[in-house]
Structure 1
Amino acid sequence: MNVMPPSEESAQPVANARMYSATPSVKADWKQLLAWALARAGLPWNVIDYDAPAPLSALWARNDLGLAMMCGLPFAQRINEARPPTLVAAPLPSPARYGGKPVYFTDIVVRADAPYRTLEDTFGGVVGYTLADSMSGGVALRRHLESYRTAARPRLYREAVGDLIHARGVIEALATGRIDVGPLDSYYHDLLRRHEPGFAAQVRIIASTPALPIPPLVATATLHKDELARLREALLATAAAPELAPVMERLLLAGFAIPDPADYRPLAAMAAAAATPFEEL
């Protein structure tokens, strides 16, 4: 496995899609797609492994990323840096609920056999979250819940359980009864439902947040203008490449878009405004 921490960065850019490698087979498909795009772009970069439990924050801190999925929140928070990450492209999930746009949601889920029918039904129970600074697994859920707080009901839950790390951790915590309700990145959730339906069937959706810009593929390495153009052309070409059709279908991808980096700025503002810790919700 080719895993290098920030202190051992590659001499040339690398590619990685850890964020949405929901299962081993999905990881293999992402690696195939990225390798295809790099070959079409004429870029001899390596597609590296960077598996859990290695922290994603360490991956995103590297300066040799040529094509890597990054959570939209740290991307937004770094837009004003002297050398911000370059937004290369963003996925277009194919399920109908995404409307052909580079967006996603936070699915708020409960155990499949739980008695809850609405989000309000879970109030008074135990809420779980992945990481407080995760967009889909923390900030989006916190902002959504804050709208339900009132002077008469300042506390929604009796307890909060954090550090569930990822979607699998949320599902496992729900299945074992550690929590009553928790958040899932909707695209990751859809990939689990497609590839591990038995595992995903342990939970069901009772609410979803409004759409937000989906985590983009970015570069932290310095790319020449021509390299960036070739890389974007290759990613856009995935939608119509017949040899990639089975991979795209399995990844629930309609293709890629090139959104404006400014589309992600509201995520940083949302995180700054989400002032109530989960433990006080």
Structure 2
Amino acid sequence: MVRFRTKGWLGAFLAGLLALVVVVACTPQSSQPDAAAPDSVQLTQLKFGVGPYFPTPNENRKQFEPLFQEVGEQLGLPTEVVVADDWIGISEALRSGTLDVAWLGPWGYVLAHHNEPSLDAIATVKYKDQPTYYSVLMARADAPFETLEEAIALSQQGEKLKISLADVGSTSGWLVPQAEFLRRNLDPKAVFDYSEGASHAAQAIALLNGQVDIASDYDRNLDVLTSEGKIDKSQIKIIWQSDPLPNDPIVVRGDFPEDLKARLQEVLVNLTPEQTETLLPPNYTGFVVSDGSNYAPIETAGKSVGKLK
């Protein structure tokens, strides 16, 4: 009798142990406490960056800080605003993770995304209710040529005309004009007395001061300089204008939390006309949703001039 009862107890024990092993083995791995989700990154502050849109860092900060502060308040996070001295610097800061969010130029975004594909464009700014703008080449109103074709011919026939392109991180001031010259099978350094690297704020002023004959810029900047009384737009004529280009994107770094990204995008695209009038620089009228695909023409231009492989 004793031997029989012992055998039954042992069988029950072994059956129970086997059941426990099966339960443990079938437990999903995702239930383990050390399995971290991508959104586990928690931010205690939002670091925003913006490129050199206005003539001085203080003016740049004054124009953009209200928007970033409002966004931070709506997201429940304190903000820090970083103003960059050049277009490449702001995109590199975002790519390195020094910044969380940046208002980039289109070419700066394409360059940064090419080097770090995890960067996401989430919105495109509207200017006068349009998500596009134009690159221009301009001359003084009294210049002896009306078009880029005439300027090229004049420069090839006699003394070379002086042309100034903006810094190499600029979409409208460098990339798009370079792509246009390439389309024409022309080397601007051979045709013109060529220089590059100037800020947009300096381009029109150098032109009007007689330092150069032709300068690159973009239509939005000419509006700003005119409204601030820095130039008289009637003294300038446009000798070439690009096709429509996508306006500036708002871009987040690669490991930016997905839930916060969605909320940030929602805040931007849902700004009211009254809010945009007080939070954004003049003529900027809000944002539209972007996934980055609208910047494909900028990428094409980058490849055409050999800056992207």
Both structures adopt the same fold (TM-score exceeding 0.5): yes
1:15 Cα deviation (Å)? 1.1
SS in 1 for 2:231: helix
1:36 Cα deviation (Å)? 1.1
| Relative contact order, higher structure (CA 8 A, sep 6+) | 1
CA RMSD of aligned residues (A): 3.0
Q: Which runs of 5+ in 1 are unaligned?
A: 1-9, 95-99, 277-281
Aligned residues: 254
Q: Which runs of 5+ in 2 are unaligned?
A: 1-42, 156-160
Quote the residue 1:251 is aligned against. Answer: 282
Q: Contact 1:193/1:201 (CA < 8 Å) preserved in 2? A: no
**Structure 1 pair 91–58 and aligned structure 2 pair: CA distance change class (3 A):** same
Quote the residue 1:263 is aligned against. Answer: 294
1:275 Cα deviation (Å)? 5.5
SS in 2 for 1:84: coil
**Structure 1 pair 229–22 and aligned structure 2 pair: CA distance change class (3 A):** farther
Aligned mate of 1:116, from 145, 149, 152: 145
SS in 1 for 2:191: coil
Q: Contact 2:107/2:171 (CA < 8 Å) preserved in 1? A: yes
Aligned pairs (5 A) from 1:184-195? 184-195=217-228
Indicate the structure (1 or 2) with the bigger Cα radius of gyration: 2
Give the letter aligned to residue 258 of structure 1.
V
1:228 Cα deviation (Å)? 1.0
Distance (whole Å) between structure 2 residues aligned to residue 179 and residue 106 of structure 1 = 18
1:158 Cα deviation (Å)? 3.3
Quote the residue 1:77 is aligned against. Answer: 111
Please give the TM-score of this superposition, normalised by the length of structure 1.
Answer: 0.77
1:244 Cα deviation (Å)? 4.6
Aligned mate of 1:129, from 165, 175, 178: 165
1:122 Cα deviation (Å)? 1.7
Quote the residue 1:239 is aligned against. Answer: 272
**Structure 1 pair 157–81 and aligned structure 2 pair: CA distance change class (3 A):** closer
**Structure 1 pair 22–154 and aligned structure 2 pair: CA distance change class (3 A):** closer
Give the letter aligned to residue 245 of structure 1.
E
**What is the aligned-residue identity percentage?**
19
Quote the residue 2:205 is aligned against. Answer: 172
Q: Contact 1:175/1:202 (CA < 8 Å) preserved in 2? A: yes
Distance (whole Å) between structure 2 residues aligned to residue 226 and residue 264 of structure 1 = 24
Distance (whole Å) between structure 2 residues aligned to residue 268 and residue 173 of structure 1 = 29
SS in 2 for 1:68: strand
